[in-house]
């Protein structure tokens, strides 16, 4: 299989899993809130609603920062690989030049 296709399938599975987890968390949160609706006072319901919102925002921020960290690491890795490839190419050119100099002098070692 093509690498691009594998990557897109992996990404699609990852996003589907995140969506499913988010949907399940939202349903659980809503079920808890609606089951406690008759038992809590108005202020308690407001506090529960605020807690729900805080938990959803915190979860979203955590996944956002994890994704940013992964992207940052990937960029750093790619930058390091580029520098390494440049050094290798430069050393190959230098070795080729040295070889040309040694072969053109006709001196026996």
What percent of the chain has pLDDT above 70? 95
| Count of CB atoms situated within 10 Å of the CB of 5 | 9
pLDDT tens per residue, range 49-96 = 888 888 888 888 988 898 899 999 999 999 999 999 999 999 998 888
Output the pTM of the full model.
0.53
- Count other Cβ atoms within 10 Å, centred on residue 33: 15
**Given this model, what pLDDT does residue 59 score?**
82
Position 18 scores a pLDDT of 84
Q: Which long-range contacts (CB under 8 A, 24 or more apart) does 52-57 make?
A: 55/29, 56/25, 56/26, 56/29
Query: Tokens 């690491």 — which residue?
Result: 73
Closest to 62 (Cα-Cα) out of 51, 72, 54: 54
């Amino acid at each position: 299989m093509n690498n691009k296709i594998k990557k897109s399938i992996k990404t699609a599975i990852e996003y589907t899993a995140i969506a499913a987890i988010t949907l399940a968390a939202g349903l659980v949160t809503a079920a808890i809130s609606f089951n406690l609706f008759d038992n809590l006072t108005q202020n308690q319901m407001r506090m529960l609603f605020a807690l729900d919102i805080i938990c959803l925002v915190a979860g979203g921020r955590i996944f956002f920062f994890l994704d940013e960290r992964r992207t940052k690491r990937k960029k750093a890795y790619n930058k390091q690989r580029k520098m390494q490839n440049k050094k290798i190419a430069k050393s190959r050119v230098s070795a080729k030049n040295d070889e040309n100099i040694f072969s053109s002098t006709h001196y026996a070692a």
